[in-house]
């Protein structure tokens, strides 16, 4: 999934990194080289990243799921659909959301106004005014009481009290008890032991990082920033994005108009009007050539050429 710093919304949703393979001291995790070869031709209006071997794609007005050969495993029939997570995917066939399995069958019926993906066995769902958390059987584990809620990561989830406008965010554990009391104007997920939080609001506020005690590990100082993954986090400086380490030291100077996330050893970046991929040293491994590009997931990355999306290896 790519992130464009020109367009920001309140939702701070989960970004999940799959880190696998053995370690190389200089290069980090070992991944298959990225060639940019098109393996699924651009033909879709919208797509998700691959997860659990499937990607959600939109053809016309309907969403379905394809495998890595581009073959439909679940025919397009949903109004909207998301990536699979922990065996289930959020989908809707009306104005309401539910969760489907890999056969396309609803195992949690459509009934929610808004949902989060399943993470650590739970999913945030909103049925009336408030979010609560359900298990994979659709049973409430944490009853609805939060105006806003994020997914669980590293045992904690960001939740809002007092309303999305003017309220505060804190963190709960899986019993629904507060692990970190509400005190932040916006809050993201925990990743690499740190969570991105905002003090001062979207307009004029600053972003920093807290640890699991709620103490600031990196003081609020960024106009915008992103969650840590693999020891690195992107930040916005003016109109360009760069990267810091967990000590707040800049390790890649702000260079790019837009960026994605480091995944499988590469990063999607925009220079001028085209997207390409760089390695951790900032060297292009796939030259800028795409109208839009997303991060790699399970060996493939979604790219847009003209108005259609396909996948490269």
Give the residue from 148, 64, 163 showing the smallest Cα distance to 104: 64
- pTM given for the model: 0.86
Q: Tell me the residue range of the domain where 206 lies.
A: 39-251
Sign of CA pseudo-dihedral 212, 216, 217, 222: positive
User: Over 6-34, what HEC string results?
Assistant: CCCCCCCCCCCCCCCCCEECCCEECCCCC
Whether residue 205 is contained in a domain is answered as yes
Has residue 26 been placed in a domain? Answer: no
Confidence of residue 294 (pLDDT cuts 50, 70, 90): very high
Asked, for residue 98, whether it belongs to a domain, the answer is yes
pLDDT at 16 over 80: no
CATH code, 238: 2.130.10.10
Q: Beta strand 308-312 with 38-44: parallel, antiparallel or unpaired?
A: antiparallel
pLDDT grade for 29, boundaries at 50, 70 and 90: low
End-to-end Cα distance, the chain: 15
Is residue 178 assigned to a domain? yes
Q: Is residue 230, in this structure, part of any structural domain at all?
A: yes
pLDDT tens per residue, range 139-198 = 999 999 999 999 999 999 999 999 999 999 999 999 999 999 999 999 999 999 999 999
Which tens digit of pLDDT belongs to each residue from 241-281? 899 999 999 998 898 988 888 899 999 999 999 999 999 88
Distance of CA 136 to the CA centre of its chain: 21
Asked whether residue 289 is domain-assigned, the answer is: no
Q: Is the dihedral of CA 45, 48, 51, 56 positive or negative?
A: negative
For 91-138, the pLDDT digits (tens) are 999 999 999 999 999 999 999 999 999 999 999 999 999 999 999 999
Residue 26 pLDDT: 32
pLDDT digits (tens, 9 = 90+) for 161-173: 999 999 999 999 9
7 has a pLDDT exceeding 50: no
Identify whether 280 is part of a domain.
Answer: no
**What pLDDT is stored for residue 238 in this prediction?**
82
> Does residue 226 lie in a domain region?
yes
Structural domains counted in the chain: 1
157 φ, ψ (degrees, to nearest 5): -135, 140
């Amino acid at each position: 999934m790519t992130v464009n710093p020109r367009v920001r919304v309140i939702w701070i949703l989960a970004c999940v990194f799959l880190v696998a393979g053995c370690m190389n001291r200089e290069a980090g995790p070992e991944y298959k080289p990225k060639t940019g070869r098109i393996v699924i031709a651009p033909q879709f209006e919208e797509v998700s990243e691959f997860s659990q071997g499937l990607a959600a794609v939109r053809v016309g007005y309907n969403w379905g799921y394809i495998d890595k050969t581009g073959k439909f495993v679940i025919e397009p029939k949903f109004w909207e659909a998301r990536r699979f997570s922990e065996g289930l995917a959020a989908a809707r066939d009306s104005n309401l959301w539910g969760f489907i399995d890999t056969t396309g069958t609803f195992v949690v019926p459509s009934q929610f106004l808004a949902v989060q993906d399943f993470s650590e066995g739970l999913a945030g769902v909103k049925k009336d005014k408030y979010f609560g958390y359900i298990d994979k059987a659709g049973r409430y584990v944490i009853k609805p009481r939060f105006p806003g809620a994020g997914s669980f990561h590293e045992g904690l989830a960001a939740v809002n009290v007092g309303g999305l406008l003017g309220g505060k965010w804190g963190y709960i554990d899986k019993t629904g008890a507060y692990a970190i009391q509400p005190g932040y104007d916006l809050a993201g997920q925990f990743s690499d032991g740190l969570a991105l939080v905002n003090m001062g609001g979207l307009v004029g506020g600053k972003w920093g990082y807290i640890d699991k005690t709620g103490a600031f590990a990196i003081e609020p100082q960024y106009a915008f920033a992103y969650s840590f993954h693999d020891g690195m986090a992107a930040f916005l400086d003016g109109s360009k994005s760069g990267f810091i380490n967990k000590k707040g030291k800049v390790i890649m100077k702000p260079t790019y108009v837009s960026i994605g996330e480091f995944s499988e050893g590469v990063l999607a970046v925009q220079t001028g009007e085209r997207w390409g991929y760089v390695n951790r040293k900032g060297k292009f491994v796939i030259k800028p050539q795409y109208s839009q590009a997303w991060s790699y997931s399970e060996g493939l990355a979604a790219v847009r050429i003209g108005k259609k999306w396909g996948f490269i290896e």
